[in-house]
Amino acid sequence: MNLDIVMGFEIIKTAYEKKNEEQLWQQYTLDYTSMDEKNFLTFEQYKAKAFKVAVKVDKKQILMDAELIRKADQADRLKPISVL
């Protein structure tokens, strides 16, 4: 039963990916008309650029968040357990 659900989700995911790729292909064909030797991209390059996820990671913020989590975890461990 669970395998059927997982397969169903995979099929749906694949269908959405194909639909997105088809739409991107249509956009690429429009942009292709304005490309020249200097700014030419293959479809694979265009797709990689379009689906690229830009994530900025601030190391200081990550370390501060980790410290807050550690302190909260330690404070939670020091709380007495109430027995009802």
Strands (E), the chain: none
Residue 2, pLDDT score: 65
User: pLDDT digits over 6-55, tens only?
Assistant: 898 999 999 999 999 999 999 999 999 999 999 999 999 999 999 887 67
pTM of the predicted protein model: 0.55
Q: How far is CA 38 from CA 14, 30, 33, 41, 66, in A?
A: 34, 17, 13, 9, 45
pLDDT at 84 over 70: no
Q: Is 24:47 a contact under the CB 8 Å cutoff?
A: yes
- Output the CA–CA distances (angstroms, integers) from residue 44 to 5, 20, 21, 41, in the order listed: 31, 14, 10, 8
Nearest to 24 by CA among 49, 56, 3: 49
Check residue 74 and give its pLDDT.
Answer: 85
